[in-house]
A and B are shown apart, each in its own frame.
Chain A
Amino acid sequence: DTEVTQTPKHLVMGMTNKKSLKCEQHMGHRAMYWYKQKAKKPPELMFVYSYEKLSINESVPSRFSPECPNSSLLNLHLHALQPEDSALYLCASSSRIGSGNTIYFGEGSWLTVV
């Protein structure tokens, strides 16, 4: 079983809705990530947090707003999304950022924007 848990598993939202995706890990990792994955494509990095501070933003539109309340939690706030934002959103964590650290992924949240 994955040690990175994501909720909800499935989410359907309208373009005017505000919703949040949540992620939690209890491995003591200090780096957390959001990835977006479209069908038949590899995951694409969106955001990286290191020690609860935003370290990388891959030029993600402002309708996606990440938040890291503490070292175990990571949220992704969604507002005014477009149908093309429908995708699998994967949370991940690693002990630290950097190439020597294995990134562990959660089960993902399947998002549909209608």
Chain B
Amino acid sequence: AQKVTQAQTEISVVEKEDVTLDCVYETRDTTYYLFWYKQPPSGELVFLIRRNSFDEQNEISGRYSWNFQKSTSSFNFTITASQVVDSAVYFCALHTGTASKLTFGTGTRLQVTL
């Protein structure tokens, strides 16, 4: 069975602070894909990144960076110098070869204030 745990339910930071959103996954498959999505209040789920299980390279995209560590089954997401526009719910998700669907974590609500 597949499982994704986002232990942080809500995080509040002040603008310009760095913040890390944690994601821990469980699967017995050796081939799998991990995703992060952002959901602002408008409702749309915005795709941020996809990472496959064979690629442990960390990735940076502007103020966003992702740290994938197979040894700890974690795929953490860091926002540097957070901005108010980063306020949203962030979902980590897992898709494996044997599963017919994405397994989502419960989401982390990020509130960035001035």
| Bound-complex Cα distance A23 to B8 (A) | 33
B60-114 contacts to A, CB under 8 A, are 91, 95-97, 99-102, 104-107
Does B37 make an interface contact (CB < 8 A)? yes
Enumerate chain A interface residues (CB-CB to B < 8 A).
2, 40-43, 45, 48, 56, 58, 88, 90, 92, 97-100, 102-108, 110
In the complex, which of the residues A56, A102, A110 contacts B47, with contact meaning CB atoms closer than 8 Å? A102
B residues near A (Cβ < 8 Å) are 31-33, 35, 37, 42-47, 50, 52, 91, 95-97, 99-102, 104-107
Report whether A99 and B44 are in contact in the complex, using a CB–CB cutoff of 8 Å: no
- Knowing A56-B100, A99-B31, A99-B32, the reply to whether A41 touches B44 (Cβ < 8 A) is no
Q: In the complex, which of the residues A2, A103, A108 contacts B102, with contact meaning CB atoms closer than 8 Å?
A: A103
Question: Are A105's CB and B37's CB within 8 A?
Answer: yes
Q: Are the CB atoms of A100 and B104 closer together than 8 Å?
A: no
CB<8 Å pairs between A and B, sample of 7: A42-B91, A42-B106, A43-B45, A45-B102, A58-B101, A90-B43, A100-B33
Closest 6 pairs (CB-CB, A-B): A42-B104, A105-B45, A108-B43, A99-B95, A107-B44, A45-B101
User: Are B44's CB and A105's CB within 8 A?
Assistant: yes
Partner of A104, one of B33, B42, B47: B47
Inter-subunit contact B44/A42 (CB<8 Å)? no
Chain A residue nearest in CB terms to B6: A42
Q: How far is the CA of A88 from the CA of B107 in the complex (A)?
A: 16
The complex places the Cα of A98 from the Cα of B32 at a distance, in Å, of 10
Q: Are B101 and A102 in contact (CB under 8 A)?
A: no
Q: Nearest chain A CB to B90's CB is how many angstroms away? A: 11
On whether the beta carbons of A88 and B105 are closer than 8 Å, the reply is no
In the assembled complex, the CB of A34 is this many whole angstroms from the nearest CB of chain B, namely 12
